[in-house]
Copies of this chain bind each other. A is one copy, B any other.
Amino acid sequence: MTTEALRGKNHPQRLSEYPKTPVLTTDESVIAIPSISNSGNRRAADREGNQMQTIERYLEDFEVGQRFSSAKLRVEKEQIKSFAAEFDPQPFHLDDDAARNTMFGGLAASGWHTAAITMKLLVESDLKPAGGIVGAGFDQLRWPLPVRPGDELRVESEILNVRTSKSHPQQGLIKVRTTTLNQNDEPVQVAVGNLVVPRKAKALRSENS
Protein backbone atom coordinates (compact mmCIF):
# COMPACT_ATOMS: atom_id res chain seq x y z
CA MET A 1 0.00 0.00 0.00
CA THR A 2 1.39 3.37 -0.95
CA THR A 3 1.00 6.60 0.92
CA GLU A 4 -1.56 7.60 -1.70
CA ALA A 5 -4.04 5.34 0.04
CA LEU A 6 -3.61 7.29 3.25
CA ARG A 7 -4.75 10.52 1.71
CA GLY A 8 -8.34 9.63 0.89
CA LYS A 9 -10.96 9.41 3.61
CA ASN A 10 -12.57 6.35 2.07
CA HIS A 11 -9.50 4.22 1.67
CA PRO A 12 -8.40 1.66 4.21
CA GLN A 13 -5.62 3.06 6.35
CA ARG A 14 -2.30 1.39 6.93
CA LEU A 15 -2.82 -0.77 10.01
CA SER A 16 0.66 -0.24 11.33
CA GLU A 17 -0.03 3.44 11.67
CA TYR A 18 -2.82 2.91 14.14
CA PRO A 19 -2.30 2.66 17.84
CA LYS A 20 -3.58 -0.62 19.19
CA THR A 21 -3.32 -0.31 22.96
CA PRO A 22 -6.38 0.64 24.99
CA VAL A 23 -4.86 3.93 26.08
CA LEU A 24 -4.47 5.10 22.55
CA THR A 25 -7.72 4.01 20.96
CA THR A 26 -10.74 1.93 21.75
CA ASP A 27 -12.77 2.73 18.66
CA GLU A 28 -12.60 -0.39 16.56
CA SER A 29 -15.48 0.69 14.38
CA VAL A 30 -13.20 2.78 12.21
CA ILE A 31 -10.97 -0.03 11.15
CA ALA A 32 -10.85 -3.75 11.84
CA ILE A 33 -7.79 -4.22 14.00
CA PRO A 34 -6.21 -7.46 15.15
CA SER A 35 -6.30 -8.51 18.80
CA ILE A 36 -4.04 -6.37 20.90
CA SER A 37 -2.76 -9.50 22.66
CA ASN A 38 -0.91 -10.66 19.57
CA SER A 39 2.71 -11.26 20.38
CA GLY A 40 5.80 -10.95 18.25
CA ASN A 41 6.19 -9.06 15.06
CA ARG A 42 3.55 -9.79 12.51
CA ARG A 43 2.46 -8.80 9.11
CA ALA A 44 -0.63 -6.67 8.99
CA ALA A 45 -3.49 -7.28 6.59
CA ASP A 46 -5.85 -4.80 4.99
CA ARG A 47 -9.64 -5.10 5.09
CA GLU A 48 -9.65 -7.53 2.21
CA GLY A 49 -7.21 -9.72 4.09
CA ASN A 50 -4.32 -9.06 1.73
CA GLN A 51 -0.99 -9.46 3.45
CA MET A 52 1.00 -6.24 3.40
CA GLN A 53 4.74 -5.69 3.63
CA THR A 54 4.28 -3.86 6.89
CA ILE A 55 5.60 -5.24 10.16
CA GLU A 56 4.56 -3.26 13.17
CA ARG A 57 6.48 -3.27 16.41
CA TYR A 58 5.50 -2.74 20.02
CA LEU A 59 7.97 -1.65 22.67
CA GLU A 60 8.84 -5.28 23.46
CA ASP A 61 9.78 -5.86 19.82
CA PHE A 62 12.56 -3.27 19.88
CA GLU A 63 16.10 -4.05 21.01
CA VAL A 64 19.23 -1.95 21.32
CA GLY A 65 21.32 -2.36 18.19
CA GLN A 66 18.49 -3.09 15.75
CA ARG A 67 18.95 -1.27 12.45
CA PHE A 68 16.41 -0.24 9.84
CA SER A 69 16.84 1.07 6.31
CA SER A 70 14.77 3.26 4.04
CA ALA A 71 14.30 3.54 0.31
CA LYS A 72 16.07 6.32 -1.62
CA LEU A 73 14.67 9.67 -2.64
CA ARG A 74 16.17 12.09 -5.14
CA VAL A 75 15.99 15.78 -4.20
CA GLU A 76 15.25 18.01 -7.18
CA LYS A 77 16.38 21.62 -7.50
CA GLU A 78 12.84 22.93 -7.87
CA GLN A 79 11.81 21.15 -4.66
CA ILE A 80 14.69 22.79 -2.79
CA LYS A 81 13.59 26.21 -4.04
CA SER A 82 9.88 25.76 -3.41
CA PHE A 83 10.40 24.44 0.15
CA ALA A 84 12.70 27.40 0.83
CA ALA A 85 10.26 29.91 -0.64
CA GLU A 86 7.61 28.66 1.77
CA PHE A 87 9.65 28.02 4.92
CA ASP A 88 13.27 29.22 4.72
CA PRO A 89 13.48 32.15 2.31
CA GLN A 90 17.22 32.80 2.32
CA PRO A 91 19.36 33.30 -0.83
CA PHE A 92 21.44 30.13 -0.42
CA HIS A 93 18.25 28.02 -0.56
CA LEU A 94 16.40 30.03 -3.21
CA ASP A 95 18.57 31.09 -6.09
CA ASP A 96 21.56 29.49 -7.83
CA ASP A 97 23.37 32.74 -8.61
CA ALA A 98 22.85 34.28 -5.20
CA ALA A 99 23.85 31.02 -3.48
CA ARG A 100 27.29 31.00 -5.13
CA ASN A 101 28.27 34.08 -3.13
CA THR A 102 27.35 32.66 0.26
CA MET A 103 29.14 30.33 2.64
CA PHE A 104 27.30 27.43 0.96
CA GLY A 105 29.03 28.18 -2.35
CA GLY A 106 25.96 27.05 -4.28
CA LEU A 107 22.32 26.14 -3.88
CA ALA A 108 21.68 23.95 -0.81
CA ALA A 109 18.49 22.55 0.70
CA SER A 110 17.20 24.05 3.95
CA GLY A 111 18.13 21.83 6.88
CA TRP A 112 14.41 21.65 7.65
CA HIS A 113 13.80 20.32 4.16
CA THR A 114 16.39 17.62 4.81
CA ALA A 115 14.69 16.87 8.13
CA ALA A 116 11.27 16.63 6.44
CA ILE A 117 12.60 14.33 3.71
CA THR A 118 14.20 12.20 6.41
CA MET A 119 10.80 11.88 8.10
CA LYS A 120 9.20 10.79 4.85
CA LEU A 121 11.85 8.13 4.31
CA LEU A 122 11.55 7.00 7.93
CA VAL A 123 7.75 6.68 7.81
CA GLU A 124 8.07 4.49 4.73
CA SER A 125 11.02 2.48 6.09
CA ASP A 126 10.83 -0.83 7.95
CA LEU A 127 11.01 0.93 11.33
CA LYS A 128 7.32 0.54 12.15
CA PRO A 129 6.32 1.43 15.69
CA ALA A 130 2.71 0.39 16.37
CA GLY A 131 0.75 3.64 16.48
CA GLY A 132 3.03 5.37 14.01
CA ILE A 133 6.19 7.41 14.36
CA VAL A 134 5.48 9.87 17.14
CA GLY A 135 8.47 11.91 18.27
CA ALA A 136 8.70 13.05 21.88
CA GLY A 137 11.68 15.20 21.02
CA PHE A 138 15.28 15.18 19.88
CA ASP A 139 18.50 15.20 21.87
CA GLN A 140 20.55 16.12 18.84
CA LEU A 141 20.03 17.29 15.29
CA ARG A 142 22.85 18.34 13.02
CA TRP A 143 23.63 18.74 9.35
CA PRO A 144 27.27 17.80 8.66
CA LEU A 145 26.99 18.50 4.92
CA PRO A 146 24.53 20.45 2.77
CA VAL A 147 22.07 18.63 0.51
CA ARG A 148 22.55 19.64 -3.13
CA PRO A 149 20.17 19.46 -6.12
CA GLY A 150 20.13 15.93 -7.49
CA ASP A 151 21.32 14.30 -4.26
CA GLU A 152 19.77 10.92 -3.58
CA LEU A 153 19.03 10.48 0.11
CA ARG A 154 18.37 7.42 2.26
CA VAL A 155 18.03 6.91 6.00
CA GLU A 156 19.70 4.39 8.29
CA SER A 157 18.25 4.18 11.79
CA GLU A 158 19.55 2.39 14.87
CA ILE A 159 17.90 1.71 18.22
CA LEU A 160 20.07 3.16 21.02
CA ASN A 161 17.81 2.62 24.02
CA VAL A 162 14.47 1.02 24.95
CA ARG A 163 12.62 1.86 28.17
CA THR A 164 9.14 1.78 29.62
CA SER A 165 7.51 4.98 30.79
CA LYS A 166 7.08 5.37 34.54
CA SER A 167 4.27 7.88 34.21
CA HIS A 168 2.51 6.02 31.35
CA PRO A 169 3.08 2.27 31.94
CA GLN A 170 1.10 1.36 28.82
CA GLN A 171 3.83 2.85 26.64
CA GLY A 172 7.54 3.40 26.43
CA LEU A 173 10.23 5.28 24.61
CA ILE A 174 12.81 4.17 22.12
CA LYS A 175 15.85 6.32 21.45
CA VAL A 176 16.73 6.19 17.77
CA ARG A 177 19.65 7.62 15.84
CA THR A 178 18.70 8.38 12.25
CA THR A 179 21.51 9.07 9.82
CA THR A 180 20.54 10.55 6.46
CA LEU A 181 23.11 9.70 3.79
CA ASN A 182 23.63 11.00 0.28
CA GLN A 183 24.57 8.96 -2.81
CA ASN A 184 28.23 9.02 -1.71
CA ASP A 185 27.32 7.56 1.70
CA GLU A 186 28.18 10.88 3.36
CA PRO A 187 25.95 11.86 6.29
CA VAL A 188 23.93 15.01 5.58
CA GLN A 189 21.88 14.78 8.78
CA VAL A 190 22.32 13.00 12.10
CA ALA A 191 19.45 13.09 14.58
CA VAL A 192 18.95 11.34 17.91
CA GLY A 193 15.30 11.31 18.87
CA ASN A 194 12.91 9.64 21.27
CA LEU A 195 9.79 7.96 19.90
CA VAL A 196 6.69 7.01 21.87
CA VAL A 197 5.84 3.33 21.34
CA PRO A 198 2.88 1.42 22.86
CA ARG A 199 3.51 -1.72 24.92
CA LYS A 200 1.81 -5.03 24.27
CA ALA A 201 -1.31 -5.59 26.36
CA LYS A 202 0.06 -9.04 27.28
CA ALA A 203 3.16 -7.54 28.89
CA LEU A 204 1.01 -5.11 30.84
CA ARG A 205 -1.35 -7.84 32.08
CA SER A 206 1.44 -10.04 33.37
CA GLU A 207 2.79 -7.09 35.37
CA ASN A 208 -0.58 -6.42 36.94
CA SER A 209 -1.35 -10.04 37.88
Binding site for B on A (CB under 8 A): 3, 6-7, 9, 13-14, 17-19, 23-25, 27, 30-31, 83, 85-92, 94-95, 97-98, 100-103, 110-113, 115-117, 119-120, 123-124, 131-143, 196
Contacts and interface: CB of A to CB of B under 8 A. Distances in A.
Contacts of A113: 116
A98 B123 CA distance: 17
Given A17-B90, A138-B141, A119 B110 contact: yes
Given A7-B89, A19-B103, A138-B140, 12 more contacts: A6-B94, A7-B85, A18-B101, A24-B102, A30-B101, A88-B119, A88-B120, A89-B123, A103-B131, A103-B134, A135-B143, A138-B138
Copies of this chain in the oligomer: 2
A189 to B, nearest CB: 10
A139 to B, nearest CB: 7
B102 A87 contact: no
Contacts of A9: 95, 97-98
Contacts of A23: 103
